[in-house]
Copies of this chain bind each other. A is one copy, B any other.
C-alpha cells in the first residue's frame, strides 16, 4: 500500500476550514494544520483551531506568529469598528463592495506560508476554505486568485521547478462552490463538531460571538438553511 500523501491545511478556527480539514482527511491525506496568530481581534479562534486540530488528530499543528497589526488597514487588525449592519437573517454587506474586514493580501500571505511549510515537509497539496458563494466579496476568495497562486507557487519553489510530471503544488478548495448550508451538511456528514468552531469577527473577551457581524450572520443563515 502506498504511503499516505501529506497535505498542509490552513485552519482558522472557523467552520469552513474545519470542514476542509475533515474533507482532506477523508480523501486520505496526512494533514499538517497551519494557523496564524496575526494579531486578529478575534483571538478566540486560535483556541478553537487548537481544539479542532487535536480532535482531528493532525500530524502537527503549526501556529505561525505574524503581526499584521504592523500593517493595519483592516477592521480585523486595526482600531476600525467591525460593521454590524443588522439582525440575523439579512443579507450581509453590500454587493460589489469589499468590506473593511478585508485584510490586505491576507490569503496571499497565508497561502505563501502554507507553501513554505508544504515544501519543507515534502507535501504537495494545500487545503484552504475559501468560498465564492456566500462570502463577503474578498478578492482572495475567488477561483481566479487561487489558480494564479498555484501557478506562481510552481515557479517560486525548488519542488515546483524540479517537477518533471507537470505542476507540483496543488491548492484544494473543496468549499469554493458550496453555499454555507451545503458546507454545514458536508461537515456534518464528515463528523465535524461545529460547536468547537467560531465565525465571529468581533467576539467578547470571553469568546462569545456578537451575532451581528457579517460572519455571524452568514453562519446563522447557513445553519437555518441546513436544517430546512
Which A residues have a C-beta under 8 Å from some C-beta of B? 62, 64-68, 70-74, 98, 102-109, 112-113, 115-117, 119-121, 139-140, 142, 144-145, 148-149, 151-153, 155-158, 160-162
Contacts and interface: CB of A to CB of B under 8 A. Distances in A.
Contacts of A149: 152, 156
Of A142, A148, A157, most B-chain CB atoms within 10 Å: A157
Contacts of A161: 139
Contacts of A112: 105, 108-109, 112
Nearest to A104: B119
A108 to B, nearest CB: 4
Q: Per DSSP, are chain A's interface residues mostly helix, strand or loop, or mixed?
A: helix
Given A120-B71, A145-B156, A105 B109 contact: no
Contacts of A115: 104-105, 108-109
Of A65, A73, A105, A117, most B-chain CB atoms within 10 Å: A105
Contacts of A157: 104-105, 108, 139-140
A157 B137 CA distance: 11
Contacts of A73: 119-121
B64 A64 contact: no
Contacts of A140: 156-157
Nearest to A111: B112
A108 B110 CA distance: 11
Contact of A152 (B119, B120, B145): B145
A142 B155 contact: yes
Contacts of A71: 62, 116-117, 120-121
